[in-house]
Every structure is written in C-alpha cells, then in structure tokens.
Structure 1
Amino acid sequence: MRLFTVLAVSAALLAVPQAASASGSCYDRAAPITYEESRIETPALPGGTRVPYTLVEAGGFTAYAEGLSGALCRTRSVAAAKLLLQRRGAQLWSTAVQRAQGKVQQGTIERYDDRPLYWTRLLGTRDLRQWQPAFPVTDAERASLIKTFEYASRGVSSTTFGRGVKRVLVSGFDPYQLNGEIRRSNPSGASALQLDGLRFGDVLVQAVVLPVTWSGFDAGIVEDTFGPHLTARSRDRADLIMTISQGNRGLMNIEQWAGAWRGGSPDNNNEGVAEPVPSAPRWPQPDPQPEFIETTLPFEKMIAAGTGPWPTALNPRLCEWPAGTRPDPAAVRCHTNGPTPGSQAQSGGGGNYLSNESMYRSNRLRLALGATDVPGGHLHISALVYPADPLVIIDDAFSADRAATIEQTVALVKAAA
C-alpha cells in the first residue's frame, strides 16, 4: 500500500472550525454530557492542537458534524428528529465505510483510520444531550434518539444480508484507554470498516462497531446486534458470527473460552464494577447461565490459512474460582485445562473486559436461541504502537503497522468463512 506522509499536529490545523462543536442557539453547553464525550475538548499539548477536532477535520467529517448540528436546530418534533438521526447516522456509517474501503476520497488522513468516525459520532451524541429544541423532549425520548443515532452510525441498523449468500456477521470496537493516549485507534473497529459489505465468492460479511462502555452492553447492544441474525425464522440468519477486539502486541489469538465475569476495569466513561455478566434486556438467556462458553469458530482453518505478519493461535487459557470461593482474589486459578467442574469464571482467555464480554454475550444468546449450528467466537488482534513524538498523529510506520494488522484480520475472517 502507499504510505502516507507524517500528519503532524501543526499550526496549520490549529484552526479547526469551532462550528464543529455545534455552538448553535439550540444547545445548552452547560447541560451534562458523558465523560467520554468530554474528551472532545481535551486540551492540546504545547505546540499542538486538540486531537479530536484534528481527526474529524482530517477525515473530512467537519461538514457532516456542522450539518447535523444545524439540522437538529431546525427540527420541529421528536418524530422528525428521529427520522433525521436515523438518516444522518446511516450516512455517517456508510460514508466512513466507503472512505475506509477507498470507494470515496475524503479528507487527508489515510483511509484505514477509524478515529474520524469515532470522534464525529461523539460530537453527535454530545449535541443530542445538550440539544434544547423549542418543543418538549422527555428523558426517555432523548435516550431513544441517542440510541437511534448510535445504532445507525455503528452499522447496527444496516446488517441485512438478503438471499443467496453465506452470511457472516462480525463486530469491532471503538478506541479506548484514551485518558493516557488521546491518539488511540482500534484496529478491530478499523477492520470492521473494511469488512462491512465485503463479498467474496458466495460469502457476504456485515460488520458493526461496538462501544467500549459497560452501560452500552447493559442496554443490550451486543444482543440487539447479533440476535436478529440468530433466531430460527430469520431470513437473515447468520452462518457465522465473530467478535473482534484489540489484544496483545504481535499476536492474533482465537480465544477458546469466554467467561461470565466482568472485571470492572474502567471503560470509556471511567466506569466499571466487578460483577457477573448481567442478563440482557429483551432477549432470552440460558438457564442456568454458563460460567464459560467455548468457541466454535473453525480455528484450525484460521490457523492453517497462514496469514501474516502476526502468528495466529488458539488461546486455551482461562482463570476461575474453585466452587464457593468467588470473589476471593487469592483463590483464582489460571490454567489451560478447561473449566473445572463447579468452578466460577474469573476471566476468559482474553481477560474479563468488554472484549471477553462481547464473545460471552453474543454466544450466550446464540445458545439461548438454539443456534448451535452457527459457529461463533472471538478473535483478539495485534495491538498498535504509536508514534514516539506526541505531536504526530500518524506516520508511515504506524500506518503500515495498522494496515498490515487490518489486512490480516480480514484474511482470518475470510478463512473462517
């Protein structure tokens, strides 16, 4: 691929239009927003710019953010706002996918970058929380409008397949751990943009990008994504499902086990509580809830495909509490021998963060709906290394590393399919 020149946070980019923050008259900028949304205004490092606005501009999405802001101010009812947000959310997702796949030329940053989509979506959800239209909007209506925009702009609302194809549904994630590194990308979310709508042979792939928030998972976004494609009578029933996330550097791990425990590490809203994975609203659950769920992905074929640059392996590790010892941290036992009878989950092979939970929730639902013939599991892909200069958002080495990881991820999904 053609490598891009260094995109430094220079004085030329310092003048990103503030209209992108939607400072119109129908917004109350003192109204509460989420911690995640507050990062939009992360101060610039000395000599640099605010990275979120730079990435929106570099991705070519400033006009979109301004347009959504202005259009919200012109709406005259909740119903009109919902139609607007469905349409504009779908437009954001579609444009991000087309830009990522090189079908449209937009912006100055390389096409594999997932960060412009992330920050543009956050500008939209922030505006929705601070939106003060001339007509009344209840808290429940506002929450519903935010959900409409989120689902559309994450691809959740556009996962239809049609007939005559083998159906593969995959998910990636937003960037995370942004408190320490505001430049973060997530190669799993970037892979989802490459995979969405991908067709090879008789296989069609659809993809979504999940939030890195416990509250989003509690609200049922994983189940709402995969559930419609796992029901017995669905015309869009999947032939394979796969959740994907960023893992350890230099490894592509197919996780053998997902565990029914969330460790409570802080999410993008700096929230987290250690507890069993909660039940999902609106969807059936296995009874009793399994402590561990094993992958049914065709991992032998994925490993044998010989993709590179990173080695691909099945990760059989899990951590458990012997019966009756949870949550004593001293009692945890980690090994590669499979779950011990009567034990309780402490972590799957990929830990007990949202990546583990995406595998657990999607496959818990798969089992509850009786879709045992549908292979499912999780792929952890190689982590990224950022430019040493904190004022550089992307350089050739970072670009090449991310592109290679994404291309291998696409190849592994093809091998599974």
Structure 2
Amino acid sequence: MASEEQEINAEPTKTFFVDMLVRDIALEQAILDLLDNSVDGAKRLSEGSDDFTDKRIEIGFSSDSFVIWDNCGGFSRSIARDYAFRFGRAAGARTTPHSIGQFGVGMKRALFKFGKWFRVDSATADEQWAVEVDVPKWESEDGWTFPWADTDSSSVSRDQHGTNIVVKALRPEVAARFGSRNFENTIVGLIKSKHRQFISEGLDVRVNGNRVDATDLALSFSDQLKPGVDVFELKYKDAATVNVKIIAGVGPSIPREAGWYVICNGRVVLEADRRNVTGWGLMEEQQNRLLIPAYHNQFARFRGVAWFDSDDSSQVPWNTTKDDVDQDSRAWQAAFEKMQQMMRPVIDFLNELDRDIDEYTREKSPLLDFVTKTPLRKSDTLSEKTVFAAPARDTVQKGPKYVKIQYSRPADDIEILQEELGVRSAKAVGEKAFDLTLARFSDG
C-alpha cells in the first residue's frame, strides 16, 4: 500500500544549498553586508546617539584571506546559537532599532561566498565564544549545525568586546579579485558612499589599513537660493512609524554626483540616481505629457535626497540586498509623489540657468555667477521645512550681453600673430585682434 512506502526525500543537499545561496550576490555586496552588521553593533553601543567616536571597523583582504574586525560590542552565545547562524531570519530574533544589517542570510551568505573555511569570534562584556567551520567537511556531514570552537582572546575578549571574522581557502575567483588593487579602490568608494553618514559621525572604518574618509553631500544655501525641505511621518496600522525627509535643490556642477540619493536608516541605498525609478523621464500616462525630463548634463547641479528612518527596518523602502528601492513599498509610494513635486521647481530653475548661459555665455552669465558664489551647506544639517527658493533671471544684476565668436585660421598665421601681439594662445589672438579692430573703428 502507498501509505506503507517510504516517504520521498526532498531535502536539499548542503552543497546545492550553498551554491544557490551565493550565486546571486555580488562580492562587493557581500562585504557590505558584513560591514552593515558591524555598524548595527556600533548603533547598539551608541544607544540612539549620533556619536560613533571610538567605534572602529577594520576590513582586510588579499588573495589568501578575508578579515573583518570591530570593537562594536559583539553578540552573545545565545544569539549565535539560536539566530545568527540560522539560514533566514528566525521568529523572535532580536532586532536593533533603526538597523541596517540583520542576522538573516547576509553573514552566512558572505562567508560561504568568500571561501571554504571560516572562523567567527565574538565577545560581549559578559561572555566569549567562537565558531570554526571547514565547509567541505561540514557539507559531507549530516545535520545543519555548526560546532563551537575554543576561544581566542588575541582579537576580541570581554575586555575588548567585538567581533572578528576570518575566511580562508578562498574560492579561486574571489582570491583573484581580493588580490586586485582596483577591487580595493572599488570597496573604498562603496564604503564612502554607502556609509557616509556614519563615517561623518565618527565611525572609523579602515580597508587594508587605510582609513576611509567621509564625503559630504552639500547644496547651495542662501536667502535667495535654498533647497526645498519637507519632513513628515508615515503611520500605518500595526506597523512602526516611518520618518521621512526630502530635500531638493542645487549643488556644484558635477554630473557624476547629480541625481537622487535615497538613504534608509542611515545607509545609502541609491546614489546620484538618474533613472525613471526616481522620476527622471516621468510621463503622465492619461495626457501623455512629460512631467519630469530625462536626465542630461543641463541638470548636473540637481541634488535630491530622500531619507527614510524607522525602528523597524522592514518598513523602509529598500530591497533585500540594499542596492535599490522597493517600488512596491508603501513608504516609497507615498514619498515618490512628494519627490516629484519638489523636483519640478529645481528643474525649472536649472532650465532658466541654461537659458542665461546661452544668452551671456558661460563666462559672463550673471545667474551662473550668482549660483557659483552661493555658499554650500551639508544636506544632513537641513531639517526645517522650506520651499525651494531661487532668484528670477531679471532680478540678478546683468552686464552687457555677450556673444561667443568662433572661427578657424591657418596655424602658421596664428603663430605669427601670437608673436606680434605678445600673446600665448589662439584664443588670446582672437580677443586681442577684436579689441584692436574695435578700438580703431571706435576712434574713427
């Protein structure tokens, strides 16, 4: 009878599970996942303050090994046993308010992604523990548990509580990238952008011994030219409140820095985003009209920032790998409409600036001169609600209208005039020749 037959075994093999687990995550993102966990430790120690002074995270990698060490408090043996090494986030797992990394799949995925042997040492003020795993051996054994290992106080201890993770026997493709200087530069750049807020608040992050400096996101700010700022709360039944701050304004003309920045619980998710995900090229479908133009370098001064913060990290609009927004999130949908409303007047002003440059040239544009002389202010210092303000073209003091003259002449002739006029460039020859000709006819 069918009921007496042995049940079909559908359990996954460990090797298959590990290979599937690491397949869809980039190596850079795996490192950031581990860094996020350390930052959460620093958040717990800071107890809600924005001061991360004396908190340090050191990342080191080469073609032989990967190490990440922190002095950010560590985590307990019970958390390691019941939650931290579970594949997936177990019910009842402890959460860090405003967390950016969680004891879900991130840490295990990173360890398996890097290599075939890893060791984790962690110590709190009350206890110390260690786990050491030979992955091929573990894969060949029954059961899904990891063995405890003898503790080693050389890296962390109850007097210096934190976490130390070492991975060896690197996968060949990982070893090749870890040994590349270009990869090191990539990681430093990612940490600068993704963790700019925490580094600016005192967190000491080092990569292969070199400290990562913070980069500030600044906008033009004066009585006449200032960004729009809106601050509001999103409250939903049976869910933690999401605090939102949106800023839209003008910054330096740097194309690679232009666009929207989306920050969730202090972690940058999108940087200088210029896709339709953040509204660029937005169309009104019913009337088929363009609401926001697609990005081009005319808008290289646009800066937009959308902050989301919540006690419950599942309520902020990031995807599971924290490298894009969750467009289905209620918080994102509510903020997206406001982002477009605040973006429109900035785009209109930048269009006016472009017209002024066309009329007066870049060297003589009164409006461009005004913008470039306006002081900058760090975006994270802007907290009061304001409406975007910018001067109209006719309110900026204007000089005479300028027209750019361009023409070509034989190089030998230009060199003769350079010598005769005592100037060093073809441009200077043209300007001097014009001035002399104008003076001759003006005198006549």
TM-score by length of 2: 0.25
Q: Which has the higher strand share?
A: 2
Higher relative contact order (CA 8 A, sep 6+): 1
TM-score by length of 1: 0.26
Larger Rg: 2
